Structure 1
Amino acid sequence: MKALLTASALLLAPVMTACLAGSAQAQTYGSVSLRAGFTPDPYRVSITSGGAINANTISSGCRGWIANTMDYQVHYAAGSFNLSFSSTSSSDTTLVVQAPNGNLYCDDDSGNGLNPIVTIGNPQSGSYSVWVGSYRNGEYAQSTLSISELGRQ
């Protein structure tokens, strides 16, 4: 299921902080700066999915369990391409992506098999925060986060 949630006045970080007072779980795998036309495409990074936060508490359109801090941040200089975020894993993963304008994009299973994919048309330049979730509570799975302008996973 794919969902776009408009949250221009609402930034995810304060919501996550409010939802997680006292939680010690955190995982940040880093960041990357990408410019339109980047190579290699897709850009890939290994991430362990999951966390203690029910993504449904962020919005009813989100699924899975995510970490209390973003897994990865993408600083993107936009061009005339769509921007896709996907996760591949042998487990059932989900995605939450916050765009620079605060809009939230969530997905579960729109990619191949049980893999999520979020494609943003006409993306803006700025920082995208990405959470790779696990569909089942307590599951932490090895996954690959892919970022592409060509729609490849």
Structure 2
Amino acid sequence: MLGRQFETDSMRAMRKRIWLSLGLGAATLAGTSYIILNSAIFNPAIAQTAVALARNFRPDPVKLQGRTGGSVSMTSLSGQANCRGFASEQPNHTINLTANFPLVDFLVYTKNVNDDTTMMIKGPNGLVMCADDEYRGRNPQLTRRLPEGSYQIWVGARNANQSVNYTLSVSEIKQK
């Protein structure tokens, strides 16, 4: 049996800042160390989710649902030629890591084998990471050691304004 995880003062303060900045209610799931705030009520086409994760979070992986869409190239959003696909100007998700993580694995997948998604993550200190087809030659996946901080995640599609339902899976181990 796992020991209880307690919300620290800094986690509580971060949750309050996120909650106040979004002007939304916050739901803390009992027995877990993450908070999900969903602003989909304002624009369901561009659901933005903010999640705060502490080390050893449960459940692992955390799975977030979303939908691609947008006409902005990931190349222009990132400033890097290796970022493929199209997304909206706003990130789909924000992950706030409350500590340094030895490893975080981000994986995007869909139910339809013909869907072609891409991913871009912007982190603290100008860090930009892009992914396309790393997982089994089909889905975007990024696995890295990451410092504490806020990470904005865009999930894009191969074509402009293409709407694809996806799952973003975040884990502390490499997902296979």
In 2 relative to 1, CA 33–80 (structure 1 residues): closer, same or farther, beyond 3 Å? closer
| Runs of 4 or more consecutive aligned structure 1 residues displaced over 4 Å after TM superposition | none
* 108, 111, 126: which one aligns with 1:87: 108
Q: Scaled by the length of structure 1, what TM-score is found?
A: 0.77
In 2 relative to 1, CA 138–101 (structure 1 residues): closer, same or farther, beyond 3 Å? same
Q: How many residues are matched?
A: 127
Other-structure match for 1:37? 56
**SS of residue matched to 2:60:** coil
> How big is the shift at 1:146?
0.9
More helix by share: 2
CA contact (8 A) 1:93 1:134 kept: yes
Which structure would you say has the larger Rg? 2
* 114, 130, 134: which one aligns with 1:106: 130
> How big is the shift at 1:86?
1.3
> How big is the shift at 1:139?
1.2
Q: CA RMSD in A?
A: 1.6
Q: Scaled by the length of structure 2, what TM-score is found?
A: 0.67
Other-structure match for 2:3? none
> How big is the shift at 1:79?
4.2
Higher RCO (CA < 8 A, seq sep 6+): 1
Equivalent position amino acid for 1:128 in 2: Y
CA–CA separation in structure 1 for the residues paired with 2:133 and 2:127: 20
CA contact (8 A) 1:28 1:69 kept: no
Deviation track 1:50-74 (CA, whole Å, cap 9, x = no partner) reads 3111112232110000111010001
Deviation track 1:16-38 (CA, whole Å, cap 9, x = no partner) reads xxxxxxxxxx7242201100111
